[in-house]
C-alpha cells in the first residue's frame, strides 16, 4: 500500500503537486517508512510529528473528563490508582482506556465506591496474557 501512495505522489498537475496525504499510524508506520524500499516515499514527507504519552496530571484530567462524559462528577479513582494507570500505560490513551475500563469493572465486582491501585493491578493481570 505504501508503494501505491508513492505512485500517487508522482503525479503533478500544472507543475504543482495537488495531492496532499496525511499518514497517521503507530510506531510501526515510522519503522516501515524508514525501510530502504520506501525511501522515495519517505523523502516526500514534509512534516513528521510523534505524539507523546500524557503526563501524570493529564492522565488524571483525562480520567476525570471521561467520567464526566458519562455523567459521573465524583472522583472514582484514588491518586495511587491514577499513578498505577500512568505507570502501566506510559500515558498512551488507548491503553489508559482499556486499563481504566477493566479497573472499573474490577471495582464494580467488589462493589467498591472508589477504584484503588489494587483494582488497577487486578485489571492489569486480566489484560496481560
Provide the CATH number for the domain formed by 56-127 in this structure.
1.10.8.60
Contact 100, 85 (CB under 8 A): yes
**Which residue is listed with cell 492489569?**
124
Query: What is the structure's pLDDT at 51?
Result: 87
Neighbours of 99 (CB within 10 A): 22
Query: What is the structure's pLDDT at 15?
Result: 62
Instruction: Record the cell numbers describing residue 129, joined without a space.
Output: 496474557
Domain ranges of the chain: 2-43, 56-127
Query: What is the structure's pLDDT at 78?
Result: 98
In tens digits, the chain (129 residues) has pLDDT values of 887 777 777 766 556 666 777 888 888 888 998 999 888 888 888 888 888 999 999 999 999 999 999 999 999 999 999 999 999 999 999 999 999 999 999 999 999 999 999 999 999 999 987
Give pLDDT tens digits for 33-60. 899 988 888 888 888 888 899 999 999 9
Q: What's the predicted TM-score (pTM) here?
A: 0.75
Residues 6+ apart with CB under 8 A from 99: 85, 88, 89, 120, 123, 124, 127
Contact 64, 75 (CB under 8 A): yes
Amino acid at each position: 500500500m505504501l508503494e501505491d501512495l508513492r505512485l500517487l505522489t508522482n503525479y503533478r498537475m500544472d507543475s504543482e503537486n495537488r495531492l496532499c496525504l496525511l499518514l497517521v499510524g503507530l510506531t510501526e508506520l515510522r519503522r516501515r517508512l524508514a525501510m530502504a524500499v520506501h525511501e522515495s516515499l519517505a523523502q516526500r514527507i514534509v512534516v513528521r510529528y510523534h505524539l507523546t504519552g500524557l503526563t501524570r496530571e493529564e492522565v488524571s484530567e483525562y480520567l476525570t473528563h471521561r467520567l464526566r462524559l458519562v455523567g459521573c462528577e465524583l472522583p472514582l479513582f484514588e491518586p495511587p490508582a491514577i499513578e498505577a494507570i500512568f505507570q502501566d500505560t506510559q500515558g498512551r490513551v488507548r491503553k489508559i482506556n482499556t486499563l481504566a475500563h477493566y479497573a472499573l469493572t474490577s471495582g464494580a465486582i467488589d462493589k467498591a465506591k472508589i477504584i484503588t491501585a489494587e483494582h488497577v493491578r487486578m485489571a492489569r493481570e486480566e489484560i496481560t496474557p
